[in-house]
Structures are given as C-alpha cells and as structure tokens.
Structure 1
Amino acid sequence: MKKILSSLVTLVVTLSLQPSTPLKAKESLPKRHSLQLWYAQPAARWEETLPIGNGSIGMMPDGQVQQESIVLNEISMWSGSPEDPNNYSAYKQVSTIQQLLFSGKNKEAEKLVDQNFICQGLGSNFGNGATAPYGSYQNFGFLKLKHQIPGKVENYERSLDIQDAVAYTSFEANGTTYQRTYFTSQDENFGLVSLTADRKKSISFKLDFSRKEAVTSAEIRGNTLTIQGQLTDGKGGKGLTFAAQITLNIKGGTLRKEGSSLMVEDADQATILFAATTSYYGLPLVETLEGRLKNAQNSATEKLLKEHKKAYHSVFNRVRLQLNPGNSLEGAGSKISIPTDQRLAAFYKAPQLDNEMASLYYQFGRYLTISSTAPKMANALPPNLQGLWAHEINTPWNGDYHLNVNAQMNHWGVEVSNLSEYHLPFIAMIKRLAKEGEKTAKAYYNAPGWVVYMMTNVWGYTAPGESASWGASTASGWLCNHLWEHYLFTKDKAYLKEIYPILKNAATFYAHTMVKDPVTGWWVTSPSVSPENAFRLPSGQVASIVMGPTIDNQIVRELYGAVLAANKILALNDSYAEVLAQQLTEIPPAVQVSKSGRVMEWLQDYEEVEPKHRHVSHLYGLYPAAFISPQTSPEWAEAARKTLTVRGDEGTGWSRAWKLLFWARLQDGNHSLEILRQLLQPAYTAENPTKVGAGTYPNLFCAHPPFQIDGNFGGSAGIAEMLIQSHAGFIHLLPALPESWSSGSYSGLKARGGYTVDVSWENGLVTSYKITGNKGEAVDVLVNGKKSSYKL
C-alpha cells in the first residue's frame, strides 16, 4: 500500500496580470463534424455536463452563462484506508457448508455463508463507504465562476469535440461574442479553461472553489487562495491528503479580493490552469503541482492546446470508423446538424437513419478510456464505476471496482480498439490483488493461491461482501481473463512470463478448493453464486448459494486452459500443469443445455426466480470467453440464443451493453443493432425529466441508472465486436453487420495475434482488407462467408 502523508492539503490559486496569449473568440471553434457532441442550451443537471479528462484529473463544465460550475476530479480521491477485513475463522465452516449443499439444503448452507463467508467489519457499508475503512471515490470539488454577462443571450452552443478532446461554450450577448474553451492536457497533467470575447474589457467574473467537507481552512493572501483539508481513513483518523493548484492569467482589467473570493473586472481575456493530486502517490503535494504548472504558466494557450492535441491524436487516431449515413433510406443522411440530445431521441426511434450516431458512440467509448486512465503515469489507477467523473462525496456504490462484471466491462474494448496500454493500470491492480488475495484464500478456505471476491477499492480489498447473495462470488479467475487476453492481443512473451505465476496461483486456489459433486462426480466450486441471481428450490424456498454455477465452470475451464497454454508457449515444463490437465477432464462442461433448450445457469436446472434478471452470467462462455460460437459449437450457440430470447433485450444500462456483445458473438447484426438502440434509449425526456430509466443520458453517459461508465465501454466494445472477431481461431471480418450498415470502412482495429486490420465494404460485402503483422506469417480469415489463409 502507498504511504499516506500526514500533511494537510494545500490548494493554491495564483493570479497573474501578465498572462500568455489566450485563445481568441471564434478563432478555434471547430466546424460541425461527425465526432462532436453539441447542445443548444446549458446543462441543467450533472448528467448533461461534458466530461473531459486525462486519466489523472477530470473536469465537467455545465456551460451556464452567468453562474458556471465546473466539476473537478482526481482519480485517486479516495477516503478510507488499508484494512484486513478477512474472517480468519471462516475456513472452519467450509466442510459443513459443502455437506449441506451435497444434501440439497441450500438455504441452510446460505445461512452459514451469511454468518461466516462475509467480511469482518463494515465492508463496503452497503455502498455507503465514505466514512468506513472501505472508503469511497469522491468528488474533488467545484470551480465556481460567477460571470457578468449583460444583455440577452443568443446563438448559444456548447460542445465536446472528441476528435480533439476539447470542450467549448459560445454565445452572443449585447453584441459581443463570448467563447470558453476547456481541456485537460494529454501532454502535461493540468486542466485549462480559456475565457475570451471579441470585444475588449468584456471578461468579468468571480472565482470560487468549493467542497462540501474535509476542508479545515481557507484564506486569501494577496493573489493566492490556500485551502487545507484531509479525508477520513474511516477508522476515526486521517486519510489521504489532497491538493490542487489553480493559476488565473488575465490580460487587461483588474483583480481584487472580495471576501473569500477573487474578482476579475473588465479583462480582455483570461486563462485558468488547474492541477490536482493526492498523497496516494507518495509525492510532495504542492511541489509536485508547481512543477506541473511551471511550464504551462509561461506558454501561450495556443501552444498548450496544440501539444495536447498532438499527444491525444497519437492515441485516438489509431482507429477510424466510417459508417455510411444510410442515404438509400428515406429520411437518412448526416444528422450532425441536430443537437445531440435530440439526435439521441431520434436514434432510439429509428437507428437505421443515423449510422453516424453508432460510430460516434463507438469513438466516444474510446475517448472515455483515454480520458479516464493514464497508463504512462506512475501508480496509475484504472477507471472506476464512474471512470473518474463524480459530483458527490459518496458516489453510487462507492464508485469502486465491482468485479462481477463491471470493472471487467470497463476494459472489454481496449484491446480490439487499439488501446492496449490502457489495459495496464487494471492489470497492475490485478497483480496487487493477487498478493493481497493470498490472505483471503487462507482465511476462507485455508488454501494456497489467491482469491478476490466481487468488489475492491484502491486499498486492495479482497474479502467477500456483506451478504452471501451478492458478496460470495469469486472474481480471481475472471480477472485472469484480462491477463490472458492482453497476451493474446500482444503476443508479448516477456509479459506472459511475468503473469504466469499469477495465473497459476489463481488456478491453484480453485484446484485446492473444488469438491467432487456426489451426484455427477464432477469437481465443482463450493460454496458459490451466479452473480446477484437467485433460484427456487423444489421446496419453494429462494436461495442464492450453490456449488458449481455455470459461470464458475466456464471460468475455471478458461483459466486452466490459459495456464496449460502459457506453460507450453514458455516451455516451462511445469509439472503442476499436468495436475490441472487431469482435473480439467473432471469438471463440468462449459455448457449444459436444459430441457427448455437453454443454457443452464446452475449445476441443476433450477427454476428462475427472475427470468429477466440483469446478469446473464451463465453466458460468460459466449462473451468474454470463447466456448460458444456459431462456427465451433452451433448447438451451444442456439442454446445461448434461446437463453437471451427468454432473458429479454431490456435491462440496466450495462446489462444491455453485455447483451449487445452476446448478440454480436452470435453474429446477428440486426439484433445487435436493436440492443444498441435500446442502450441509447434516452434515460429521461424533456417532458418528464424526473423519471430516469436505463439507457443513456444526454451527455452520452450510460444510465444504470444512476450513471455507470461500464455501459459506455461495453457498448463501444460491442460495436467493435460487430465489425471484427478473432476469438474462434481465425479473424472474422464483419461478423455481425446490420443491414443498415451496408457500406463503410474502418482502419486500425486489432485482432488476437497482434494483428492490425483495415476493411472496406459495400452492399454488406467486404471489398478490400489489409491485415498487418509479422511479415510472412499466415493467418486464417473468414471473409464474405469464405475462410482462407492470408499471408502477411
């Protein structure tokens, strides 16, 4: 764990009267294009503000004309502290629980699990962990700008250009054109707000910083505002300290103190620079920030913006996607002139008329990845449940890392979408959890290896949650899927050698803790759950605890297979691989088909309590694993199709995203587009803004509800999966193309094996393609229904 500094936070705001040249009004406002979100009015709520970030800090301006609020975030802004919540007596009850499950007494077993296989202490405090040791990801604060804009406002527009990672607000008032420009530099770690007007002496505003709690003092000395504060460790003591530095450069005008605020009057231009950090990184706070802003303060805004764009383009421009606007359909054509909130509503009604909206949503997912984690930064954190954007002290579900699908979904698109290095902060977190999880394996099973359950935080939490029904699902095997997938896409043997012990130790835990089911003779996990779902026993009782749920069987199969493959690739001759190979022949098959023709969710064909449950965990073998495929296992694919039909298309935001991926893997393009349509259902309407449902907010954030970023990442991954697949031993081009995406092109998508793929198509058929990899290497490709070998 990081050493927590005991010093108080310092937030310094410096104002200079001799700034570098800011942007000029109208000069840099981009022309309308397909990679742009734009709106004709300010944000009325947080879910309408525009997210910008560089993986370390984030900002979300609301674009209000007179009283503007900009949400500020820093990804390590966590309360709480390291703890050991493991119950070291839990293992003593394992055999009793397992015997009850052998006897079909699941409810009695569940009672013992609830008493023993939960955490010690408060755990996540049922999602209210801000004051518990578990902690919560928190909002950093708010930058408040109270402007003085005379006259009636006209021609208002605010936008987010994801092509450049820059947001804008512009309007006219009293004959003056105002423009505000916002970005968080991908080149250096700071945020910038530029305020300009085309008439001199038009910039007047009051600047405040506010935060609801953890601030112990605030004072102004000269041109400097200093704020001190500290988060709680959840144990009655002091937790992380945090700091920010904001510099305000103005040209012309005057500056004065007004109470606890700073007032700028009659300036020609102004530029605000923002940087933030916390003691999580173990570095001196204010000194670190001063170093970040030193160069920025002496550089012209145009230069800072140019350097930001260059760094951002080097990553974002790796992939290009063009879907025809659907001009052959009546009412089709480019819709970029329509405000995004209205366009979202229109897409939900008729997605076939706006193919560019699908490509925008895909690239928005890539934009969010680049914006919410910083792989080049030391001790970088992966995106949490909200990426890095939060406006509350206790974010929903603590804004943590849910490991029964959500944190994983955050990373499903990184490899295929040519953002492989953005997997690394999550992989680094998995490595840390593997070490901490050794304690949890001992506590709950007295077993070797490592295990982590369904949630974690920045402090390395690995114990179960507070309730058996949702907190008892293991996630270590699922996390290993990410370790293995990164190798499959990169073919980096040095990396594979590094992660082999983690894969092996995860498998070791399962090998030592599985039991032989007396009915089938299979080795199965016990006790366990199918994440967050329940079933009805023959007695009529409802239970969650079982042995050998389908998702576990699939995960163990995949994990053992990865260890065996890695052992062979690295030529390790590890004798333990033979142990796993033998047990692999004695665990349940990846899929069991029920009498109804569906994939069974549990070892027995229990009655579902909630047939349309949001989790579809028993289709893990369809995605993200590769057990179910129309080409390699058509019977299982048909069972998966029937499962999804009964489950239904609706669900929470992230659930719809997962279903999009399922239907793409089943190679049904039209149904995939239907799920995308439902994923982009407006979360609320202008007529009834208080009734919020699943779908998408006006700023394209995914609505669980509330906001969870996993749906954005899952939806973007699903679109990529419609265009390219490589999990079944060959590269499949356009595997799930909807009829309305009849022509288009993409470049830069990745396939397993380290290949880069470019494709063009017309009338639903590939017209040209290029695969880049090691020269002379041959790869199997399925194109227009025909498989052939392609020599690179």
Structure 2
Amino acid sequence: MKSTINKTALLLIIILFVACSTTDKTVKEQPLKIWFEQSTKKWNEGLPIGNGSLGAMVYGTSAKEVICLNEETIWTGEKRYDRDNKKAGPEVIKKIQQMVFDGKYVEAEEFLTTNLLAKRFPTGTMTNQMLADLFVERQGFDSVANFRRELDLNTAVQTTQFEKDGISYTRECFSSFPGKAMVIKYSADKKGAISLSASIKRNKNTNIELTNNSIHFSEHVGNGMGVKFNSTIHFETKGGKTEAKNGKIVVSDANELVIRIVGASDYRGGNPKQICADNLKNALADDYKELLSEHVTDYRSLFKRLNFTISDGDGEDLPTDKRLQKVKDGAVDNYLTQVQYQFGRYLLISSSRPGTMPANLQGIWVNGFKPPWNSDYHININIQMNYWMAEMTNLAECHEPFLKFIGSLREMGRITARETYGCGGFVAHHTSDAWLATAAFGRARYGMWPMGAAWCCQHLYTHYEYTEDKEYLSEHAYPIMKEAAQFFVDFMIPHPKTGMLVTSPSVSPENNFMTAEGEVATVSYGCTMDRAIILELYRNCIKSAEILGIEDAFIDTLKSQVTKIPPLQIGSDGRLMEWMEEFEEPYPGHRHISHLYALHPSNQISKERTPELFDAAKKTIEYRLANGGGHTGWSRAWIINFWARLLEAEKAHENIIALQQKSTLPNLLDVHPPFQIDGNFGVVSGITEMLMQSHDGKINLLPALPSAWPNGSIKGLRARGGFEVDIEWENEKLKLATIRATTSGKFRIYSNGALSKVISLKKGESMNWKDN
C-alpha cells in the first residue's frame, strides 16, 4: 500500500518541532507516568515496551528481574491451503438454507457443524509465542529501599530505581523502532557497583550458545512446525568484566552495563541469523545516549501529535495502583483517565508500526507458549476495536499494518469462498492468524460467521475518509472492498416468503436464541449485524466508484441489491431486533452487542436521520446493561462508544469508571479476563467520540462532554475529510476550537448539539471557532 504522506519530510518537521518545544522553558510538559512503589512477580502487572515488532513485559524483583521478550513473528504452524472442511460446498449450503427457512434451526446447526465447519485443530489458528524469558539476578538484593518502577509515556522508557547499602541503582529499558533493537542500561551512582548474572529460558528445543559477552539462541518453533528464529542478547560494560559461566553471562564490578537485544525469524523470508547480526551491528555503532535520543525522537513524532488534558494534577503524588484502587472504592480520578487514554495510544505505537504485523489480541505481549486464544486475530470485533482509534487520534501510520493485513486475507479467502460456499470474491470468518486463516471452524455460534473480511473492509474506507487519498482508494482499498462485496452478491439469496435478500446460514456473533420449541439455537438467517455490515460495504463500494469515476455492471448490481436487503427492525418492546424474528434471548446480558453495529462503529443510526432507530438502540443497550452486560473489558469499552454515539455523556463516563473498576489491572492493562488489549484501545476511541465526532459530513464538538470534565482540552485530533482539530472548553462549554485543513473541503460544524455553520477550507488553511 502506498503511504499517504511523505514520511521523511514529516519526520524532519516533527523532529524540528520537538527540538524547539523542548528548549522552550515556558512550556511545561505534563507528566504521564504509570508508576509503583513496589515490585511484582506477576507478568500481567509488568510494564510493556515495544517497537511494533520487538517487545517485552518487564517485571520481577530487585533480586530477580524478568524481562519476557516478544517478537511479533514467533508463530507455530505454516500457511495451509487445506483448512476448509472438504465436505462443504454449494449443495451443503443449499441444504442448510432449506433447513433454516423451514425453521429447523437446531437441525441446521448440527448438520453444518459436521459438514461445513472445520475442526479447530489442526485447521484452526496457530499460536503466537513469546521469544524467551530473560532473567537478571543480583545476589543479596532481596531487601532494598526507595524502590520505584515506572513507564514514562512521554518518552516510552521504562525505569526501575532503588537504593541498597547507600548506593542508588537505575535500570532503563526501551525498544527502538529506528534502532531495530531493545536496549537496557544498568547504572549506579558508585563505580564498580554493577554485578549481576543473566540467563534465558525458553524450552528444551531451544539452542543456546554463550560467548563472553553474548547469549545467542535459536529454535524451529512448534516442534518443527512453525517459524525459525534467531536472537542475540549482547552485553557491553564500562569497567568490570563479563564472562560465560554455568549457562549464564556474569557481569562483575562494572560501572555501567548496556544490553542490546535483537531478534528475527524467517516469517518474511531471509536468514534470521544474518538479520540479527546486521541489526546488532547497527545497534552497536551507536552509544546508549544516541540510541535513546533516536528512540525518543521517533516515538514522540507520533505520540506528541495529540495532547489531552482534563486534570491540572501531574499524578506524582500517588502511585498508579493506589490511584486505581481509589477509583475501585468509588472515587473519580481525571488524571488517571488522561493516563489511561494516552496509554492506549502508547500501546498502539508500541505494537503496530509500518512494516510490522497488526496488533493481535495481546498486542505483541505474549506470555509463554499457549497464550489465551492463541494470541491470534479475532476479526469478529477484537482486531477492529484495536484500530478504531488509529485515525482519529492522529496515528494513521499505525493503522497501516491492519490495512495491509486485510488485503493479504484475499489469497486464502478466495479459496474459502469457492470451496465452502461456491461463491466468488473472498471471505473470512471469526478468527485469523499469521498464516491468514479464513476458514469457518469450531462451533457454530462463533465459527459460522462469514462477515470478518467485510467488517475489516470498513477500515479501508475509513482510512480514505480521513486522508481523501484517491490513489490509495484506487490501488488498495477499492479492489479489496469490491472483492469482499462480490462474495455477498453470490452468497445472499431471496427469502422464500418475502423475496428480500438475506444471508443464510447466519449467526449473531457468539449469541443464541430460543426456538418456538424451547430449544437453544444459534443459526438462522439475515441477522441484523450481517445486514448492517453488508449495507455499509456495498455503500462504501458505491461511493468509492463515484469518487473514482467507475461505472460498471458490478456497481449497478450493488445498487440493486441495496434496495432488496431488509431494513433494521424494531421489536415489540422498542428494542432493535438482533435477528429477523423476535426470538427470546437465553442470555439477555450477552457480552456481544453485535446488532448495534449500525450505531457504532458504523453510522447508519443517528438522532437526526433515524430517530426511531436511535431510540431503539438506546433501549437495546439499557436492556443489555440491566441484565449484566459489559462484564468483559472489551465489551465495556464498546459500550462507552455506544453511549458517546447516543450523545449520553454521563452514561459514557459511568462506563469509563466501570471499566476502571472492573476490567483494569494495576498497570492499566485491560482484562477480558485474562489480559486482552482491545479494551485499552476501545476506551480511547470512546473518549475521543465523547469529545468530537466527524461522521455524516460534520464535525461535532463536545457531543458527549460529562460534568466530571468541566474544563479541559484535546489538541491534535483528526476528523474525517482531512481536518485536524484542537478543542478547549471551560465550565462544560466550548471555549475555542481550531480546525486545520490538510486537504481542501467543507464541513458542517456542530457545537452544543446544534448546527452552527457550514465551513469551507482550502488545504493549509485554518480557522478558529467560538460559540456565541
């Protein structure tokens, strides 16, 4: 995919900006730190660092530190073209459809489980594994004073400090994107005070070689069915000495120790051993200060594009875990919310950069060899939620890995479309992995869901909406969207009674309904989410064709089919219906709220255009919450976005607090449970939508500002249409908004819920707006 910006020029501009801003003594940067007064032996209470591909969770004690290393491409398995169930095909699909239309929902599920769904193993997804655990041990350091560990979000540097016998010790750790290496520095305020040993542990199949200053290790993972990787951990001291002894690197009486870590696999081809050697050579060419400066400048070129303030405090008065505990006990902490917001942006920068794989269920932070859900790509909401915030929070480059991933699904997705359904185009189901799995597998309630690729395609058009890059739309986005739409042109069939086009078989992700006979079922036809996703995909294809000047029979077909897809329906109780029929729900508080897709992340439901559906959506979310919904971190994050779209400021804020109270670890990582990173990303998009929304050709300022944030500002947001927006407010009212145009265009500006003015700006122009 062609980049939408001249990255070299942009980086130079930002470096100059950062350099100037850091020398301006009148500007005080607000501290943004996650910090603790004690160590932890728990991986999920560690502090994560990453450069998009090479990451670590840093935890442990002063006596035995653990640095759980990750490299994004450490995956079991290989690309396989036999994942689809060989029994499947057009005749099987027809038989299932007939059962569904006859109301034999349970029978249809049983039949498709055997004849359409592949077994989870070995044809399901493969597993992302950690690289290794690096152990750093110090004798006699069980008891220390003034311990502090922190992650500085302004610099992406993790630091641990403590005192022992009157000596102050410091360890700094970061993972550099330009340096292609992780760097760790141990220092003290007394010469000759650094003595420690270091070793790595992976498994019995790992080849480990030690020299006097390095640990080299390699493996063919997955017992020979996976990638081959190499990694080197290099130790450089000032003063003292290093030696290999008893399977460890032993450092004695050093003034300073700098560790450089590199890792690579053959996932993308090439020789991983040579790649590691080249990256290490480059990392050794710079000293620690140069590596740190290069890392901080690169990171800040992304992170400092956006500033968010709803608190005058700097957070230095109370450790993060104690702040969070106060919230769990009933307090409201705006500084914690600021940090949580920027932590989400930090995590995306650290786990998704141009040229890397997209962030998975755990970003790039994996513990062990069998992480939850294989740490793969769940594309029935989770990976999408990871990237909702990318464009709006000014991190478009971090979106790129996902946008490329969507296109890469086509090779396998064409096979699944043809062999499982007898359709053209391409399709992907609920889960994928490094090998681009697209098959339907597992159980019907999650596996029988051919909407994954179509939902992903929303992100392709969203990127265009923010950039208005026609070349990107023509060369990358539209061809993928068109191919995804082709599948549904072939797959949807007329309902035998109404003649309307429906998907069949169809499920509402991971949810069930009760049949008239009192049985629990999951397979039906034309579920609400299916219709909303397909309508959006078709309309985005049609809009793209208009923008690109394309007129052909395919677009005519899409325009015709749009008129034949059943509209969203409201049930007898006033709620949006989840299925075509008004089924009883056995799990009324279900974590998936898929039938509200049209509200968010799509924008098919709005107060202005569809007031009845808007009210029905509100009743739907109220009902879910009243019955225990939002009990997982990612689900609660989605609910924040729903309430923002429903313009319910206080309810959105209540759910931010609920996320902090119920689904947030002491280090602010999200828990499903267990740890799952989508909630960290979803809360960022939710907060952003509370402060600005930019769909429907309008920029809506402060649409859901809660009373808990009476004063504040957010600067550097991105809006659809190619605009950058700064907002300041006082006493819950807009004080000033500045809008800058990166492309020429016009928009409607809304403030305090009312249309204020229609604005036109040429590229490079800006305007200030104040409410009268």
**Shorter-chain TM-score above 0.5:** yes
Report the more deviating stretch, 520-529 or 657-666.
Answer: 520-529
Question: For residues 247 and 338 of structure 1, do their structure 2 counterparts lie closer, same or farther at Cα, with a shift above 3 Å needed?
Answer: same
Question: For residues 120 and 355 of structure 1, do their structure 2 counterparts lie closer, same or farther at Cα, with a shift above 3 Å needed?
Answer: closer
Name the counterpart of 2:654. 674
Query: TM-score, normalized by length of structure 2?
Result: 0.92
Q: Share of identical aligned residues, percent?
A: 40
* Contact 1:386 1:709 (C-alpha < 8 Å) held by counterparts: yes
1:411 match: secondary structure? helix
User: Is 2:329 aligned against 1:361?
Assistant: no
* Contact 2:353 2:397 (C-alpha < 8 Å) held by counterparts: no
Name the counterpart of 1:259. 246
Name the counterpart of 2:564. 586
Report the more deviating stretch, 286-295 or 343-352.
Answer: 343-352
Name the counterpart of 1:641. 618
Name the counterpart of 1:438. 414
User: Is 2:575 aligned against 1:598?
Assistant: yes
Matches within 5 A, 1:548-587: 548-587=526-565
User: Is 2:267 aligned against 1:280?
Assistant: yes
Question: For residues 311 and 110 of structure 1, do their structure 2 counterparts lie closer, same or farther at Cα, with a shift above 3 Å needed?
Answer: same
2:531 match: secondary structure? helix
Alpha-carbon distance in 2 for matches of 1:736, 1:95? 47
Name the counterpart of 1:100. 99
Question: For residues 346 and 116 of structure 1, do their structure 2 counterparts lie closer, same or farther at Cα, with a shift above 3 Å needed?
Answer: same
Name the counterpart of 1:314. 301
Name the counterpart of 1:155. 146
Alpha-carbon distance in 1 for matches of 2:115, 2:140? 62
* Contact 1:117 1:468 (C-alpha < 8 Å) held by counterparts: no
Name the counterpart of 1:522. 500
1:376-412 alpha-carbon deviations (Å, 9 max, x no partner):
x3xx200010000011101110000001111111111
Report the more deviating stretch, 206-215 or 440-449.
Answer: 206-215
Name the counterpart of 2:41. 44
Alpha-carbon distance in 2 for matches of 1:436, 1:218? 36
Unaligned 5+ runs, structure 2: 1-27, 762-772
Matching residue within 605, 615, 627 for 2:604: 627
1:232 match: secondary structure? coil
Question: For residues 117 and 780 of structure 1, do their structure 2 counterparts lie closer, same or farther at Cα, with a shift above 3 Å needed?
Answer: same
Name the counterpart of 1:58. 55
How far did 1:584 drift? 0.7
* Contact 1:151 1:173 (C-alpha < 8 Å) held by counterparts: no
Matching residue within 677, 702, 710 for 1:709: 677
Question: For residues 426 and 548 of structure 1, do their structure 2 counterparts lie closer, same or farther at Cα, with a shift above 3 Å needed?
Answer: same
* Contact 1:524 1:587 (C-alpha < 8 Å) held by counterparts: yes
How far did 1:430 drift? 0.7
* Contact 2:465 2:721 (C-alpha < 8 Å) held by counterparts: yes
Alpha-carbon distance in 2 for matches of 1:503, 1:238? 33
Matching residue within 449, 453, 466 for 1:476: 453
1:487-526 alpha-carbon deviations (Å, 9 max, x no partner):
1111110111122122112111111111111233311000
* Contact 1:85 1:121 (C-alpha < 8 Å) held by counterparts: no
How far did 1:152 drift? 4.3
How far did 1:631 drift? 2.4
* Contact 1:72 1:141 (C-alpha < 8 Å) held by counterparts: yes
How far did 1:372 drift? 0.3
Name the counterpart of 2:591. 614
Name the counterpart of 1:762. 730
Question: For residues 213 and 638 of structure 1, do their structure 2 counterparts lie closer, same or farther at Cα, with a shift above 3 Å needed?
Answer: farther
* Contact 2:211 2:243 (C-alpha < 8 Å) held by counterparts: no
* Contact 1:65 1:149 (C-alpha < 8 Å) held by counterparts: no
User: Is 2:75 aligned against 1:78?
Assistant: yes
How far did 1:191 drift? 0.5
Alpha-carbon distance in 1 for matches of 2:570, 2:268? 50
Report the more deviating stretch, 294-303 or 709-718.
Answer: 294-303
Alpha-carbon distance in 2 for matches of 1:607, 1:257? 67
Alpha-carbon distance in 2 for matches of 1:776, 1:627? 26
1:414-468 alpha-carbon deviations (Å, 9 max, x no partner):
0101111211111111101122211111112111111111100111111012211
Question: For residues 34 and 666 of structure 1, do their structure 2 counterparts lie closer, same or farther at Cα, with a shift above 3 Å needed?
Answer: farther
* Contact 2:237 2:254 (C-alpha < 8 Å) held by counterparts: yes
> Alignment RMSD, CA only?
1.7
Name the counterpart of 2:380. 404
Question: For residues 119 and 106 of structure 1, do their structure 2 counterparts lie closer, same or farther at Cα, with a shift above 3 Å needed?
Answer: same
Name the counterpart of 1:6. none
Matches within 5 A, 1:65-464: 65-83=62-80, 84-91=82-89, 92-119=91-118, 122-123=121-122, 134-149=125-140, 152-215=143-206, 217-232=207-222, 237-325=224-312, 335-350=315-330, 352=332, 354-375=333-354, 377=355, 380-464=356-440
One-letter amino acid of the structure 2 residue matched with residue 544 of structure 1: T
2:618 match: secondary structure? helix
2:517 match: secondary structure? coil
Alpha-carbon distance in 2 for matches of 1:515, 1:123? 32
* Contact 1:347 1:357 (C-alpha < 8 Å) held by counterparts: no
One-letter amino acid of the structure 2 residue matched with residue 746 of structure 1: I
* Contact 1:632 1:728 (C-alpha < 8 Å) held by counterparts: no
1:698-753 alpha-carbon deviations (Å, 9 max, x no partner):
11111000111011111111111111101222110111110111111111101111
1:680 match: secondary structure? helix
How far did 1:218 drift? 2.7
How far did 1:289 drift? 1.6
1:436 match: secondary structure? helix
One-letter amino acid of the structure 2 residue matched with residue 39 of structure 1: F
Alpha-carbon distance in 2 for matches of 1:179, 1:33? 23
Question: For residues 124 and 40 of structure 1, do their structure 2 counterparts lie closer, same or farther at Cα, with a shift above 3 Å needed?
Answer: farther
Alpha-carbon distance in 2 for matches of 1:73, 1:223? 21
Alpha-carbon distance in 1 for matches of 2:692, 2:262? 39
Name the counterpart of 1:128. none
Question: For residues 170 and 774 of structure 1, do their structure 2 counterparts lie closer, same or farther at Cα, with a shift above 3 Å needed?
Answer: closer
User: Is 2:764 aligned against 1:789?
Assistant: no
Query: TM-score, normalized by length of structure 1?
Result: 0.89
* Contact 2:33 2:315 (C-alpha < 8 Å) held by counterparts: no
How far did 1:148 drift? 3.0
Question: For residues 758 and 221 of structure 1, do their structure 2 counterparts lie closer, same or farther at Cα, with a shift above 3 Å needed?
Answer: closer
2:65 match: secondary structure? strand
1:482 match: secondary structure? helix
Alpha-carbon distance in 1 for matches of 2:613, 2:83? 40
Question: For residues 587 and 770 of structure 1, do their structure 2 counterparts lie closer, same or farther at Cα, with a shift above 3 Å needed?
Answer: same
2:326 match: secondary structure? helix
Question: For residues 69 and 780 of structure 1, do their structure 2 counterparts lie closer, same or farther at Cα, with a shift above 3 Å needed?
Answer: same
One-letter amino acid of the structure 1 residue matched with residue 641 of structure 2: L
Unaligned 5+ runs, structure 1: 1-30, 126-133, 326-332, 683-694
Question: For residues 257 and 188 of structure 1, do their structure 2 counterparts lie closer, same or farther at Cα, with a shift above 3 Å needed?
Answer: closer
Question: For residues 221 and 178 of structure 1, do their structure 2 counterparts lie closer, same or farther at Cα, with a shift above 3 Å needed?
Answer: closer
Higher relative contact order (CA 8 A, sep 6+): 1
* Contact 1:401 1:407 (C-alpha < 8 Å) held by counterparts: yes
Name the counterpart of 2:700. 732
* Contact 2:76 2:225 (C-alpha < 8 Å) held by counterparts: no
Question: For residues 222 and 199 of structure 1, do their structure 2 counterparts lie closer, same or farther at Cα, with a shift above 3 Å needed?
Answer: closer
Alpha-carbon distance in 2 for matches of 1:213, 1:314? 42
Alpha-carbon distance in 2 for matches of 1:621, 1:726? 16
How far did 1:186 drift? 2.7
